[in-house]
Amino acid sequence: MPETPALPHQSLGHALPMAGSRLLLMMLLAALLAGCAGRELATRDAPGGLSIDRALILAEARRALGTPYRLGGTTERGMDCSGLVQRAYSRAGIRVPRTSREQFEALPRVDEARPGDLLFFATAGGRKPSHVGIYLGEGEMIHAPGRGRRVTTTALALDYWQERFLGAAAPAP
């Protein structure tokens, strides 16, 4: 008996597993890429007031406004971003590691930043923390932005910060 030629719908039986595995592979790649995207920068202002520790941290950070940037600095003569954090937290009697990377790795993470919490960013390319600021509330942070600049406040709604955000930490009660 002669073999009957395969009908078009019969030959699809072999193509469907191939198309299905391509679709599955594309979905996996999309999920992986989405996982590489930055975290959402979520904040929560403290309507009921701040702890004394957070109030001291924010007061010290505000006193630093206008201080020139100096790599490795922690004094009124000059400070870098993690030096600002270290100085502000020491005012409240809280010890934090020296660099933004060490701070990011050691301090307890939170999903929503409250005033006085730390915000970490990857500003030097890649996915490692290279910048830290202190959340002030109302969508702003205080930070030491870099060479030739001074400690200042900035709006967190800027795409620059949103795209580079890595996470928040809350070393203060």
Q: Quick check: helix, strand or coil at residue 61?
A: helix
For residue 126, count CB atoms less than 10 angstroms from its CB and return exposed for 0-12, middle for 13-18, buried for 19 or more: exposed
Is 9 a catalytic site residue? no
- Determine which one of 9, 14, 36, 81 is catalytic: 81
Is 14 a catalytic site residue? no
Is 81 a catalytic site residue? yes
- Residues 6 or more apart whose Cβ sits within 8 Å of residue 61: 84, 88, 134, 136, 142
Q: DSSP letter string over 153-167?
A: EEETTSHHHHHHEEE
Catalytic residue numbers?
Answer: 81, 131, 143
